[in-house]
């Protein structure tokens, strides 16, 4: 194998069929673990460095829409995930007074895209990803807190808080939206943008079956929204959001009493869920995203996932776009014959427009959901009643299939 350095990027060529390339991934979240698995599948040596002591289950649950389950199938773990997930059949919208606004047939979306929509507790998704990473014999270092990425001569180093450092051929920053060292190195600004609302999140379990069909229930109020996502007949994860314009107040850990005051008189299951919520089983999260930036790499450092394109939960596509990153990245590096500069540039080119649409779409939807003017909310609700949900499902299928060999894209 020949190794040369061109403009700070290691260029590797091999006569072997597989590419033997040392890659370090910062972060063992969805993007980090999925990318590690995808890269290992195409013969690339990879190590993962996670700052926490274990895989972190930030968020209560996630819907893996068909573009996500396509990637999970490619990684060989879709069947395993289906064993611990529930298949969503519909999304239903309601006012906070339980007046139905519309129904989207998720079965239509799945049929048009060719893969299922699955709701799963994030803990289970991470468990499945971690198990496959271990089966692939991917080394994962926990308590590995990167403090900075620095240019040293012809390559870059990751510096850790214990004084150690690494200088791999490629550094992939899957290190999240809040303090990404990769984004700081690449853009010189890793500050996320507060979007004016907080989410309380949690998991609720019923002793008796609550759901005969797994349908997402989405309740809209004035400056407030509450979503309930069943993962089984007995279990659902939920998110209750409130508009909080002042970021300092949002970061001051609003109490669970505010959650209960806001949603206690909403229709069940919302009222039932918040009345039983406790501080120990509920988390309040101020919501930040990132402004889109067109350049995701510098020297031999690349950012992916939330570090590159953090979107709000209202986009519905955070985990899906992280998984797509893994699929595209492995393909581009595998096809590049070791030319990392070309691989990173092509990866960014293919991912930027779609992820930007997801970010901006999430912002627009959040702005509508957390509108504080009652008249504007009434107009929003009327628009929801008048929506053509068949056309909406087809539009979602087209947008989410973009760039992937699924649905009508192949």
Q: What is the residue-averaged pLDDT of the chain?
A: 92
Average pLDDT over residues 364-379: 97
234 in any annotated domain? no
Residue 5 has pLDDT above 90, yes or no: no
- Structural domain harbouring 311: 2-192+290-409
254 in any annotated domain? no
Q: How confident is the model at residue 338 (pLDDT cuts 50, 70, 90)?
A: confident
18 in any annotated domain? yes
DSSP code string of 281-313: GEEEEEEEE----S--EETTEEE-HHHHH---G
Q: How confident is the model at residue 21 (pLDDT cuts 50, 70, 90)?
A: low
Share of the chain above pLDDT 70, in %: 93
208 in any annotated domain? no
Q: How confident is the model at residue 51 (pLDDT cuts 50, 70, 90)?
A: very high
Task: Write down the pLDDT at residue 13.
Answer: 37
Average pLDDT over residues 353-369: 97
Full strand arrangement of the beta sheet holding 155-160: 146-152, 155-160, 165-166
Task: Write down the pLDDT at residue 20.
Answer: 47
Residue 153 has pLDDT above 90, yes or no: no
Residue 12 has pLDDT above 60, yes or no: no
Task: Write down the pLDDT at residue 247.
Answer: 81
Q: Supply angle C-alpha 367, 359, 150, rounded to 5.
A: 130
* Residue 134 half-sphere exposure toward CB, CA atoms < 13 A: 7
203 in any annotated domain? no
371 in any annotated domain? yes
Distances in whole angstroms, Cα of residue 119 to Cα of each of 51, 83, 129, 152: 27, 11, 15, 44
For the ranges 51-65, 96-110, 269-283, 328-342, which has the lowest average pLDDT? 51-65
Q: How confident is the model at residue 410 (pLDDT cuts 50, 70, 90)?
A: low
Average pLDDT over residues 90-95: 98
Q: Sort strands 46-49 and 23-26 into parallel, antiparallel or unpaired.
A: parallel
25 in any annotated domain? yes
Average pLDDT over residues 128-133: 97
Share of the chain above pLDDT 90, in %: 86
Say how many domains are in the chain: 1
Beta carbons of 187 and 296 less than 8 angstroms apart: no
282 in any annotated domain? no
Q: Sort strands 90-95 and 100-105 into parallel, antiparallel or unpaired.
A: antiparallel
CATH code of the domain containing 348:
3.50.50.60
Residue 47: partners with Cβ closer than 8 Å, 6 or more residues away: 22, 23, 24, 25, 138, 139, 140, 141, 168
Average pLDDT over residues 352-356: 98
Average pLDDT over residues 16-25: 63
For the ranges 122-126, 153-157, 162-166, 399-403, which has the lowest average pLDDT? 153-157
Average pLDDT over residues 14-42: 81
CA nearest to 184, candidates 26, 339, 359, 361: 26
Measured in whole angstroms, how far is the alpha carbon of residue 22 from the centre of its chain? 25
DSSP code string of 21-37: --EEEE--SHHHHHHHH
pTM score of the predicted model:
0.93
Longest CA span, the chain: 68
Measured in whole angstroms, how far is the alpha carbon of residue 289 from the centre of its chain? 11
């Amino acid at each position: 194998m020949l190794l040369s350095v061109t403009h700070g990027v290691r260029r590797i060529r091999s006569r072997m069929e597989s590419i033997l390339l040392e890659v370090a991934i910062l972060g063992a979240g969805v993007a980090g673990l999925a990318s590690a698995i995808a890269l290992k599948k195409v013969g690339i040596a990879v190590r993962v460095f996670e700052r926490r002591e274990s895989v972190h289950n930030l968020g209560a649950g996630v819907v893996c829409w068909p573009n996500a389950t396509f990637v999970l199938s490619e990684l060989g773990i879709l069947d395993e995930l289906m064993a611990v997930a529930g298949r969503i059949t519909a999304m239903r919208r309601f006012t906070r007074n339980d007046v139905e606004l519309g129904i989207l047939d998720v079965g239509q979306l799945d049929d048009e895209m060719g893969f299922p929509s699955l709701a799963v507790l994030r803990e289970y998704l991470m468990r499945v990803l971690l198990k496959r990473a271990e089966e692939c014999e991917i080394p994962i270092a926990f308590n590995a807190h990167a403090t900075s990425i620095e240019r040293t001569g012809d390559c870059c180093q990751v510096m850790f808080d214990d004084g150690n450092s690494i200088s791999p051929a490629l550094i992939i920053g899957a290190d999240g939206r809040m303090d990404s060292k990769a984004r700081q190195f690449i853009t010189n600004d890793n500050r996320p943008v507060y979007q004016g609302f907080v989410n309380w999140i949690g998991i609720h379990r019923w002793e008796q079956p609550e759901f005969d069909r797994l349908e997402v229930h989405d309740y809209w109020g004035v400056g407030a929204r509450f979503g309930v996502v069943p993962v089984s007949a007995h279990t659902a994860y939920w998110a209750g959001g409130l508009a909080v314009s002042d970021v300092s107040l949002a970061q001051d850990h609003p109490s669970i009493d505010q959650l209960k005051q806001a949603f206690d008189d909403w229709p069940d299951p919302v009222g039932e869920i918040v009345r039983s919520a406790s501080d120990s089983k509920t988390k309040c999260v101020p919501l930040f995203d990132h402004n889109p930036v067109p350049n995701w790499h510098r020297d031999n450092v690349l950012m992916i996932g939330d570090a590159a394109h953090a979107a709000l939960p209202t986009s519905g596509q955070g985990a899906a776009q992280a998984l797509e990153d893994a699929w595209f990245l492995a393909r581009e590096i595998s096809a590049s014959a070791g030319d990392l500069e070309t691989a990173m540039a092509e990866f960014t080119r293919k991912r930027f427009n779609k992820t930007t649409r997801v970010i901006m779409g999430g912002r627009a939807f959040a702005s509508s959901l957390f509108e504080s003017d009652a008249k504007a909310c009434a107009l929003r609700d009327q628009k929801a009643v008048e929506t053509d949900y068949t056309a909406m499902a087809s539009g979602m299928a087209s947008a989410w299939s973009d760039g992937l060999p699924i649905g009508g894209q192949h």
